[in-house]
Amino acid sequence: MINKTSTFRNLLLHLFFWAFLIALPILLGPNTNSNNPEEIRRSYFWIFYMTSFTVINIPFFYINTEVLLPKLLRAKGVIIYLLTLIGAILLMLWIHEEVFHWFYTHFIHPDSQGGGGGPRRGALMRMIFQLLFYAAIGTSYRLISDRMKEDEQVKEQENERLKSELSFLRSQISPHFMFNVLNSVVSLSRRKPEMVEPVVVKLSELMRYMIYETNDSIVPISKELVYLESYIDLQKIRFGDDIKINFAHELGPKTSHIEPMLLIPFVENAFKHGVGFIENPTIDIELKDSATELYFRVANKKGTTMNETKDESSGIGLANVKRRLELLYPTNHQLDVMDSGSDFTITLTIQHS
């Protein structure tokens, strides 16, 4: 997509560059306040000629940058480009020679029939050096411009790749989450069939958020908090008094934003591995959001023996969210995982930019 601001900035830069070069002979030109009419005439001749010289060189500059460099240098090679550039310089020298002759015969010596070889030879050397200068400036400008565009395209491609990866990672969360919840519903239907209906109602609320609220790249932390509360309520219905759940949260006066469903894998992991054959299972969840950072902590007890057989999806949630954190907050997040054998604690800190 073309950046209109960048295009307008480049246009202004080109206009300023040529306006400066066109005005340079006037700014540095000889004194036109002399009382000698011949000296005044020569001064105006020099100013007008050098100004016209710059104007004539504008097409040469853009022919080199927009035609010769992209069409010949890259496609045909250096030799073909240099030969064509030399031909363009010779053509420009002929044009400048004709312009010089016209100015010389009309302003310096109106009665001359083509004399003035000395002045023309001096002007010819200036023409060659200035044409080489414009060719060098144009080549440098085009090469630098192309390199910047290539770097921008590489950066854009990398951003698109990261967006695709994030989209894929986020899409993994929902099926993984639903798989675990449905397993819980099946287990609950066997033990407490009367609780299935409220669980399904609460599950529908979670699904509504997952489907309609997570399309944006970021959501207010307050919405993510409501989602966490709904999930915890669902687990309370499922486990009742069999597990102690502590959820402390505090939001700052200014609403911060976060990628949707970034925190739920940590809570889900705590419920998945923090209940079962564990004495007095307890899950502590703490969420604090301030103007400078988001603090999130989840702790759960662990059993001394394996209380479940891991399936192929076990660990997807944590591995997923770690990768998302690396992509979203590469330099302003810290994730600490502590496993003491009897307790498992994760602490996440995200610095607000």
Q: Which sequence spans correspond to the domains of the chain?
A: 4-155, 192-351
- Render 279-348 in DSSP notation, one character per residue: SS-EEEEEEEE-SSEEEEEEEEE--SS--S---TTTTHHHHHHHHHHHHH-SSSEEEEEEE-SSEEEEEE
Q: Phi and psi dihedrals of 104, rounded to 5?
A: -65, -45
pLDDT above 90 as % of the chain? 11
Q: What is the mean pLDDT of the chain?
A: 77
Question: Could you give the CA distance from residue 160 to residue 12 in angstroms, rounded to a whole number?
Answer: 30
Whether the predicted pLDDT of 294 surpasses 60: yes
Q: What is the mean pLDDT of residues 82-108?
A: 78
CB neighbour class for 123 (10 Å; exposed up to 12, middle 13-18, buried from 19): buried
Each residue's pLDDT tens digit, 299-343: 998 865 544 444 444 456 678 888 888 888 888 999 999 988 888
Say whether domain 192-351 belongs to CATH 3.20.20.80. no
Contact criterion met (CB below 8 Å) for 67 and 144: no
Contact criterion met (CB below 8 Å) for 154 and 146: no
Each residue's pLDDT tens digit, 113-153: 544 444 456 666 777 887 888 888 888 888 888 888 888 77
Residue scoring higher pLDDT (214 or 292): 292
